[in-house]
Structure 1
Amino acid sequence: MGLSFICLSIIFMQFAFSFIFNLTFAKFTASSVLPLCHDDERSALLEFKERHINRDLDAWKFDCRPKAASWKPEEGDADCCSWDGVHCDKNTEIINLSKLSYLNLSGTSLSGQIPSEILELSNLVSLDLSLNDGPGGRLELQKPNLANLVEKLSNLETLDLGDASIRSTMPHNLANLSSLTFVSLRNCELEELDFLLTRLKILEALVLSSNRLSLLTKATSNTTSQKFQYVGLRSCNLTEFPNLLKNQHHLVILDLSANRIHGKIPKWLLDPSMQYLNALNLSHNLLTRFDQHPVVLPGKTFDFSSNNLQGPLPVPPPETILYLVSNNSLTGEIPSWICNLNTLKNLVLSHNRLSGLLPQCLGNFGDELSVLDLQGNNFFGTIPDTFIKESRVGVIDLSHDLFQGRIPRSLVNCSKLEFLDLGNNQISDTFPSWLGTLPNSNVLILRSNKFYGIIKEPRTDCRFSKLHIIDLSNNRFTGKLPSKSFLCLDAMKIVNTSQLRYLQDVISPYGELSNDLIITYDYSLTMNSKGGMMTYNKIPDILTGIILSSNRFDGVIPTSIANLKGLQVLNLDNNNLQGHIPSCLGNLTNLESLDLSNNRFSGQIAQQLVELTFLEFFDVSDNYLTGPIPQGKQFATFDNTSFDGNSGLCGRPLSKGCESDEARANEDHTEGSEESLFSGAFDWKIILIGYAGGLVTGLVLGFNFSSVIVRWFLDKLGMRQIATRKKGIRRN
């Protein structure tokens, strides 16, 4: 069984064909008793519609959206064979799709040997089997091998076998593919590639990333007749710039990232003859400087991050889109040319030795800027109040600098802002509750500044409803914890069980020519969690935390915090909080780190906290807590340091036992001794019961008998009448 589409020959059918490919693997043949439309086929079509049909189709030659609009999962329309644009039969297999020209099975979790049937698709112009690593391991080309595939598919123009296991020398017949313009063999366990560079005369794009190509450094092959437009040699163990690139004046994209290239960036790479070069990625190498000054960069996107570059910032052209130079040793101020970058999307200058005042034009890059990252430098002065119009910026990281003054109120115009980190500066201001009006605010870090005053409760509407992480630690905030504000943190009320994703900004400036061209800026932060400063180079979208440590908050922990069932990190240490630790904290069943140390809490530790089964770190040291420490589950993993400085606490893991436990132990010991003493002679329990019964009876009889004797004695002495008269006098 299979599916065939009207627009098969002109669009990529990744998910629509994935099940056909799997069926071919299994040598499955449909029988006449099976329904025409299988559940997996229906799901594949719906997923294809969601991921592809609804995308921007500018690059597609045919628009299938009108047909796909009728594809619905309702029961009454469950037979996908009746959907518009879909045809089913019982015998169609991938081998019978003889006119197929485009086949994209990238990222469909396939594994094992590629079936020989695919070699019968002689009309294929584009074949993409990349990014497959299914339950059975990587996709393999053994039988048939790469040479067989090249021999049969002689019309290929685009071939992407990225991440497939080839493990062979490169077949020489690859040079016979006269129409081949794009080859991606990244991470295919290849070594011998010199001939490929010299024989594929019309090749325009070559992606060989994540292979062992150190020999390319010394290659002196004559490649002047070739006109490469895209060369990807990421993670290839290169130590120098390959000589074969020297005469490639038609290069548009060059990726040499994540190698071990050291020394200077050569002049020929920055020569005006490289007029077509638009994207240059030299990140994660050992480069120290540029071989010419002043440095004027060609192109639109530059990534020089994570090297050892020194000197001033290299000058980019006005049409620059990405400017990434983080983690170097660059010095000086931000020059005035920064104001001319009107098309800039990402400006990342973090972790250098830059200094000076920020230019006033910083917020006027136009509508394109999405990432502004200047953290880890020596910038000082006030943050310019320049976001005077609606801005698309999603990330602003100005942490670990020397900024003073107040937070610029113009940030309220950044309606797309998700991430704001102003931590570790000298900013003096009250809590910016007005930032809560930003609809996408996800991370707010104001740690280690001079913020002061009371955090006021919201008057009417809730704010910060999408906030996942807030860090206000090491400031001078005072007053009560804002009880109503906790009720507004809707994103922290949900336990996120969806597929793990990371907070990031993804840019593909040259479309989807190759997965290597997708540039990712990952949001990152450092947060006090689980007893230390933890660095997240990538922030999972499920991470939630409230860090209010080292301030001057007082009063009790509001019970409203118990509604935040998705909360993972709660740090309230080093404040003046008091009262009992509320038992409702046991409702925070997703909590992994809880720090309440160095406060004035009193009373017992609530037994309900034992239910926090994900709790890895717990600290209530240096308070005034008393009574037994709860036992069992996660509490069995905490050591003495979690409870130090509370003289009234007792029980494990402390060496101080609880009095009730000691008394109970002594009673057990005494009873055991007496049992052994009388065992074999009497049943001590029976004797004890008899003794107790006799004692009670004797007391009752003794009391009655004594009363009779007293009355007789008084009568004889005439004292009874005297006593009676005295009682009457007192009553009168």
Structure 2
Amino acid sequence: MTPSSNFFSFMHLLLLFSLFNLIVLAPFNSSAQTLCHDDEHSSLLRFKESLVTNKSASFDPSAYPKVASWKADEDCCSWDGVTCNEVTGHLIRLDLTSSCLYGYIHSTNTLFQLAHLEWLSLADNHFNGSKIPSQIMNLSSLNSLILLDIHNCNFSGSIPSSLGNLTKITYLYLSDNTFSSQDSRSLSWMAKYSKLTYLGLSQINLFGEIPSWLMNLTHLTHLYMSQNELKGPIPYWLMNLSQLEELSLSSNRLIGNIPSQIGNLTQLQVLALGSNILQGEFPIALYDLDNLQVLDLNSNNLDSTVDMNMLFYKLKSLKYLFLSPNNLSLLTDTKVHTKFPKLSFLGLRSCNLIEFPNFLQNQDQLEILDLSSNKIASQIPGWFLNLSVELLLCLNFSNNLLTGFDQHPLSFSWTRLKSLDLSSNKLQGPLPVPPLSTRSYLVSYNNLTREIPPGLCNLNMLKILDVSHNNLSGKLPQCLGNKNNNFSGGIPENFVNGENLGMIDLSQNQLQGKIPRSLASCMKLEFLDLGNNQISDTFPSWLETLPNLKVLILQFNRLRGAIKEPKTAYAFPKLQIIDLSHNRFTGSLPSKYFESWDAMKVVNGSSLTYMQDLTIGRLHTGIDETFDILPSIYDYSMQLSTKGIELEYGRISYLITAIIFSSNKFEGQIPTSIANLRGLHFLVLSNNNLKGSIPPSMANLTVLESLDLSNNKLSGQIPQQLEDLTLLQCLK
């Protein structure tokens, strides 16, 4: 063959190869040229324009607005959160989790035109009470959607049955929304989800029994139905879902025994049954769950003896164990076993312990330990102080009979400790100084003596300190203070840790002098109680700029003079309780302040919550719920003179609002501006020099429970309009 013929043969093969590549291989090499389809590009942009972005719309601290980077002149397949099929160019995945999206989703939203979606997550955004439109069924037009995650989105209304058309779905996460109350049986259309592996239905207002349609979902590996109103027993047939790896039914109203068939769930890694009304014995079948990592039986009525040696020997994968409080008795006379699991979280509150558990000698990975409300009558052993040195975060030994620490000199080695609660024991000697990392230190109701050590002033992270009800003496250090000891002298002028303090309680001492102006720099302060002292000063108007102050108690002091007008229209914006009783204030009632106390203008009918620090001691296990693992770090408490008697509030509800100005020298008329405080529960103005008539507009105070105007110089009749105050229990 001549060189010329070789050349033409080579060119012929090259041409054939090029044609083959163009015709056959082009579809597999087209990802570089494939662009987002125009209709999907337009739908995404219109969806973006229908909402705004707001950082507060997402809870995740790492949240950011993904849609902010979407530009109209760019290929939508390159946008943040968007994934397209490399061959067809169709949008198949939209992940806008924690994207700070805020607004209302209407039924006409272009989101539901994305018919090729296989994966849709809008979780952790705020859709302002939107209802899930029935048009969501359009996402099933090609029957391609396999994942739908809309948890924590503030959706309302009912869950549409049109979701039942998504028959190929394997992952459905609807938890943490404000859906209207509905019977669990009304979701029977979910039985169509024959391929479902993940189902999140926690905190969605479900009531009724655990629904029987669940038995059809034989492929389930994750089932979450916590924080609802489910009642009745745990059905035995639920234990036939043998593929379950995580099961959460906590915070419901479930009753009866834990089924013995629970041993069938051999794949189970998380079992959360806490905060129900379960009773009976601790099931021996639980010992068969050797893959178990989280066991939460917290807050039930289980009544039996648990052999901790057997528990730890069998459940070698265990990391989180919560048995408190129940009626359990724990056998803790265990030998320290090298094969015991290394726990991270251990809750044994109210478990009838009478001695310090020696199995803790092996637990050097602990992050949170709760042994509170037992009957442990001994010293804390020295070996314990060397455990979990770099890991321990929260430690609660409160409400026991502990007398001290079996180590001298005492030295805490925990470098990350955030919360230490030793309150309500029998600790003796000087006050121990916790690690520098401590934010909450509670050691009230003990027998501690001597002065507060100056080393406490080095705790720059400290937010809450309670050393009340001890026998501490001497002058109050310049950096801190508390009540019910024998402190005297003046209040320290400078609060070193003021930027972190959430509560200051210096009540029931013999403190004199003035209220320090440096308190105005405590920008996180929520609770200030200086009551029952000998303070001589005027009204601390400089505190009105504190953005978070909810409770101000100055009762039983020597405060004097008129309360002047506020310097800002937003004075004390979050104030809910103010007690100035038993002082020497004069002049008119502070009508301008009444106009600015916005937190007292709201009639709050939401569920009962309390003023407390919940930032420490909550568990995130990877399941779709967060739950408390320790008692509250601190519950603000106080006394109010209402309804003619002294009432002590061990926990102050966010719903309580009160103005107590009794036993002063206020004069003039009751200002009409007080009628704007529609959320007011207690109003006590007795023992003053008030004149004139009772304003009929006070009938606007529709949630008022106690009204005391006695021992004044009021005239006229009680307005007939006050008959409309149906919640009023005390009128003087």
1:226 equivalenced with 2:340 (yes/no): yes
Higher helix share: 1
User: Residue 689 of structure 2 aligns with which residue?
Assistant: 576
- Cα deviation 1:571-598 (Å, max 9, x = unaligned): 1112222333444434433222122222
How much does 1:565 deviate?
Answer: 2.5
CA RMSD of aligned residues (A): 3.4
1:109 to 226, 229, 247: 229
Give the letter aligned to residue 288 of structure 1. Answer: T
CA contact (8 A) 2:306 2:329 kept: no
Matched, 1:378 2:493: no
Match of 2:351 in 1: 236
Q: Is the 1:251–1:276 Cα contact (8 Å) retained in structure 2? A: yes
- 279-288 or 583-592, larger mean C-alpha shift: 583-592
Q: 1:579 to 1:298 in 2, by over 3 A?
A: same
Q: Structure 2-normalised TM-score?
A: 0.68
Residues 616-655 of structure 1 mapped to structure 2, 5 A cutoff: 616-619=729-732
TM superposition shift of 1:451: 0.9
Match of 1:177 among 281, 284, 289: 289
Distance 2:230 2:444 in 1: 37
1:97/1:121 contact within 8 Å kept: no
**Length, aligned pairs only:** 550
Q: CA offsets, 1:243-270, max 9 Å, x none? A: 4335544444321111222343334433
1:562 aligns with 2:675: yes
Contact 2:269 2:292 in 1 (8 A): yes
Following superposition, the deviation at residue 388 of structure 1 comes to 7.4
CA contact (8 A) 1:162 1:185 kept: yes
Q: How far off is 1:173 after superposition?
A: 4.9
Aligned twin of 1:706 = none
Instruction: Structure 2 unaligned segments of length 5 or more: list them.
Output: 1-53, 64-93, 110-132, 140-144, 149-162, 168-188, 198-218, 622-626
In the alignment, structure 1 residue 132 sits paired with structure 2 residue 240 = no
* In structure 2, distance between residues paired with 1:581 and 1:50: 46
* CA distance, structure 2, for counterparts of residue 339 and residue 525 of structure 1: 26
Q: Determine which of 56, 70, 76 is the counterpart of 2:108.
A: 76
Give, in angstroms, the shift of residue 554 of structure 1. Answer: 1.9
**Does 2:537 correspond to 1:429?**
yes
Structure 1 Cα separation of the partners of residues 478 and 292 of structure 2: 50
2:384 partner SS: helix
Deviation at 1:530, TM superposition (A): 0.5
Q: Which amino acid aligns with 1:162?
A: G
Quick check: 187-196 or 70-79, which moved more?
A: 70-79
Alpha carbons 1:580, 1:603 under 8 Å: kept? yes
The aligned residue for residue 355 of structure 1 is 473
Query: Counterpart in 2 of 1:295?
Result: 410
Does the CA-based 8 Å contact 1:508-1:518 persist in structure 2?
Answer: no
Paired residues of 2:347 and 2:630 also in contact (CA < 8 A): no
Structure 2 counterpart of 1:206, which letter?
Answer: L
Alignment of 1:466 with 2:574, yes or no, is yes
Write the letter of the residue equivalent to 2:450. G
CA contact (8 A) 1:227 1:249 kept: no
- Alignment check: 8 A CA contact 1:507 1:518 kept: no
Q: Distance in 2 between matches of 1:120 and 1:476?
A: 72
One-letter amino acid of the structure 2 residue matched with residue 395 of structure 1? M
1:204-603 correspondence runs (5 A): 204-217=319-332, 219-221=333-335, 223-229=337-343, 230-270=345-385, 277-299=392-414, 300=417, 301-362=419-480, 374-387=482-495, 391-458=499-566, 461-509=569-617, 511-513=619-621, 515-517=628-630, 519-603=632-716
1:159 aligns with 2:274: no
Instruction: Give the counterpart letter for 1:591 in structure 2.
Output: L
Shift of 1:187: 3.7
Are the equivalent residues in 2 in contact too, given 1:437–1:464 (CA < 8 A)?
yes
Q: Cα offset for 1:304?
A: 0.9
How many Å apart are 1:534 and its aligned residue?
0.6
CA displacement at 1:190 relative to structure 2: 4.2
Q: Which whole-Å CA distance do the structure 1 matches of 2:485 and 2:530 have between them?
A: 13
Alignment partners' CA distance in 2, 1:239 and 1:444: 41
SS in 1 for 2:402: strand
Deviation at 1:406, TM superposition (A): 1.6
Match of 2:518, SS state, is helix
Q: Which secondary structure does the structure 1 equivalent of 2:656 belong to?
A: coil
- The C-alpha deviation readout for 1:375-420, integer Å capped at 9, x for no partner, is 3222233323335798243322222222222222122222332222
Q: In structure 2, what is the equivalent of residue 89 of structure 1?
A: 166
Secondary structure of 2:448's aligned partner: strand
Q: 1:425 to 1:167 in 2, by over 3 A?
A: closer
Between the aligned partners of 1:390 and 1:321, the Cα distance in structure 2 is 13
User: Could you say what secondary structure the match of 2:613 adopts?
Assistant: strand
- Whether the aligned pair in 1 keeps the contact of 2:367 and 2:388 (CA below 8 Å) is no
- CA, structure 1 residues 220+553, in 2 after alignment: closer, same or farther (shift >3 Å)? same
CA distance in structure 1 between the partners assigned to 2:105 and 2:388 by the alignment: 56
Alpha carbons 1:110, 1:139 under 8 Å: kept:
no
Which one-letter code corresponds to 1:385 in the other structure?
A: E
Q: Is residue 617–residue 628 contact of structure 2 (8 Å, CA) maintained in 1?
A: no
- What TM-score results when the alignment is normalised by the length of structure 1? 0.68
SS at match of 2:223: strand
Report if the CA contact (8 A) 2:56-2:100 is conserved. no
Report the Cα offset of residue 506 of structure 1. 0.8
**Aligned partners of 2:685 and 2:285: how far apart in 1?**
68
How much identity, in percent, do the aligned residues show?
Answer: 48
Equivalent AA in structure 2 for residue 343 of structure 1: M
Distance 1:469 1:54 in 2: 29
